[in-house]
């Protein structure tokens, strides 16, 4: 049908539907099932719209669930909205071509075939919110390019999940010599799940930017040769995994990247974020071509063996950064500093959180030699734990002094009071002692 409207009301069961040129389709509490051999259960072209709502289902056991597209060479993309409903296809759940849009609200979209993609965006835009789920046999979302279009494909996930059962959660994989530009937003508790451990894969000379905000992700970001990938971590975002051939990582306020092995990133820009070098018992090296901004590096060092995490900047390093180092072992051997940061050039400054690192009974500092930073073998005094033991040693005399003063005062009142044998009387006594590492103050009450 063209330039027409179709509404399926509660309880309706229909076969495949095709609409074009500004048509409107409403599937309300109904079912649409494609006939065998039909490629698409519902297809809409030329600025048409589809609304699937109120526990409706659209299914195609042999092809695509829903396709929205434009007229040939036109910019009149179509739209599909799935609300509180599901779309299930074999090869693709939803296929959106140039200038089209996909809106998912508490919806489920799935492609069941082993090589299926839950949602395919060809220069199209998709927004999934409110506990929506996108699942594909291979990838959850596939961003591609249609023809010679240069329009950016866009995916926004807001409190939603994308899953690739055997492949990456998100795949940017256009045909050869047909590069794609993709913008991906992972927001507000959204999650990416994959069968091969890859959250985002970028291939065939494509460019992809992924922004993670207030979400926790576990997996790798893999960018093939000739392609470009960038990642931003903001607002309590946590990424645990490896970055492979990623051009740039931005760790902004509240964002943290946790390494799971030796890693490399082209440019590392810190704006209040953090990088953590994995578990305390494992030691990793992070290589980057440049470092800028200000942030925190959470590292581990074994003073007995000399094993340590290492931040290695092969190029220019700028900014002011803090090292939060957890040390194991007993004592740093005199004359054997441990390198924790190497920079090739630049004016970057590094300091220790708390100014020292505690190892056994002693605390150690950080020293600079050229453009490298080492844990200094010169002792800076007792460690925090040693100070606590010393404080406990002096606690007993302090308590005894307080009790003696109270007893002396009390006995003096009894002995020298003229009415000491004439009835009941009382008086309160108290002392307040503030004991710190380097001071003692007494207040008598």
- Same domain flag for 377 and 431: no
Does residue 164 lie in a domain region? yes
- Same domain flag for 14 and 40: yes
337/275 Cα distance (integer angstroms): 23
Does residue 39 lie in a domain region? yes
At 399 the pLDDT is 58
At 253 the pLDDT is 96
At 424 the pLDDT is 59
Does residue 388 lie in a domain region? no
- Same domain flag for 263 and 372: yes
Q: Which residues of the chain have pLDDT under 50?
A: 360-361, 381-393, 440, 442
- Same domain flag for 230 and 126: yes
Alpha carbon distances (Å) from 242 to 183, 236, 263, 322, 405: 20, 19, 6, 22, 64
Domain count, the chain: 2
In terms of C-beta density within 10 A (0-12 exposed, 13-18 middle, 19 or more buried), how is residue 184 classed?
A: buried
State the first-to-last Cα distance of the chain, in angstroms, to the nearest integer.
Answer: 92
**Residues β-bridged to residue 270:** 251, 293
- Same domain flag for 31 and 64: yes
Give the domain-ending residue among 360, 382, 404.
Answer: 382
- Residues of the domain holding 429: 394-444
Give the domain-ending residue among 335, 360, 382.
Answer: 382
The structure tokens 């396709």 sit at 67
At 383 the pLDDT is 43
Does residue 400 lie in a domain region? yes
Does residue 100 lie in a domain region? yes
- Same domain flag for 282 and 320: yes
- Same domain flag for 369 and 398: no
- Same domain flag for 377 and 409: no
Does residue 387 lie in a domain region? no
- Same domain flag for 69 and 174: yes
239/113 Cα distance (integer angstroms): 29
Among 358, 348, 298, 305, residue whose Cα is nearest residue 325: 298
297/352 Cα distance (integer angstroms): 10
At 248 the pLDDT is 98
CATH code, domain carrying 199: 2.160.20.20
Q: How many CB atoms lie within 10 A of CB 166?
A: 14
Among 355, 351, 358, 290, residue whose Cα is nearest residue 322: 351
Does residue 389 lie in a domain region? no
- Same domain flag for 295 and 402: no
At 219 the pLDDT is 98
In contact, 83 and 51? CB cutoff 8 Å: yes
Give the domain-ending residue among 329, 360, 382.
Answer: 382
- Same domain flag for 354 and 410: no
In contact, 59 and 36? CB cutoff 8 Å: no
- Per residue in 252-273, pLDDT (tens digit) is 999 999 999 999 999 999 999 9
- Same domain flag for 140 and 168: yes
């Amino acid at each position: 049908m063209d330039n027409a409207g179709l509404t399926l009301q509660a309880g309706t069961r229909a076969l495949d539907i095709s609409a074009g040129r500004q048509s409107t389709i409403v599937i309300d509490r109904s079912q649409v099932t494609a006939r065998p051999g039909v490629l698409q259960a519902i297809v809409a072209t030329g600025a048409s719209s589809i609304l699937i709502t109120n526990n409706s289902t659209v299914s195609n056991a042999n092809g695509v669930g829903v396709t929205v597209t434009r007229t040939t060479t036109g910019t009149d993309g179509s739209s599909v909205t799935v609300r509180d409903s599901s779309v299930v296809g074999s090869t693709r759940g939803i296929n959106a071509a140039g200038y089209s849009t996909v809106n998912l609200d508490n919806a489920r979209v799935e492609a069941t075939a082993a090589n299926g993609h839950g949602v395919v965006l060809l220069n199209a835009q998709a927004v999934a919110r409110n506990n929506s789920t996108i699942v594909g046999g291979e990838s959850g979302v596939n961003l591609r390019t249609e023809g010679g279009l240069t329009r950016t494909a866009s995916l926004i996930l807001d409190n939603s999940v994308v899953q690739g059962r055997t492949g990456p959660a998100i795949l940017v994989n256009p045909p050869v010599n047909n590069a794609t530009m993709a913008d991906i937003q992972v927001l507000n508790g959204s999650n990416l799940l994959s069968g091969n451990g890859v959250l985002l894969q970028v291939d065939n000379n494509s460019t992809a930017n992924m922004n993670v905000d207030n979400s926790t992700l576990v997996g790798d970001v893999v960018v093939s040769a000739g392609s470009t990938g960038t990642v931003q971590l903001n607002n309590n975002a946590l990424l645990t995994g490896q970055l492979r051939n990623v051009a740039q990582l931005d760790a902004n306020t509240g964002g943290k990247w946790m390494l799971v092995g030796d890693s490399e990133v082209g440019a590392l820009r810190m704006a209040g974020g953090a990088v953590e070098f994995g578990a305390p018992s494992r030691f990793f090296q992070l290589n980057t071509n440049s470092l800028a901004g200000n942030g925190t590096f959470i590292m581990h060092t074994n003073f007995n063996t000399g094993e340590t995490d290492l931040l290695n900047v092969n190029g220019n390093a700028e900014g002011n950064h803090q090292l939060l180092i957890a040390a194991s072992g007993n004592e740093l051997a005199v004359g054997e500093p441990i390198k924790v940061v190497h920079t090739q050039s630049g004016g970057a400054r590094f300091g220790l959180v708390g100014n020292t690192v505690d190892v056994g009974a002693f605390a150690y500092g950080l020293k600079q030699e050229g453009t490298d930073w080492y844990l200094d073998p010169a002792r800076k005094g007792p460690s925090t734990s040693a100070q606590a033991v010393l404080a406990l040693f002096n606690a007993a005399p302090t308590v005894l002094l307080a009790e003696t003063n109270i007893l002396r005062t009390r006995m003096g009142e009894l002995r020298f009071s003229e009415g000491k044998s004439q009835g009941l009387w009382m008086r309160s006594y108290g002392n307040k002692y503030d004991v710190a590492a380097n001071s003692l103050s007494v207040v008598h009450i």
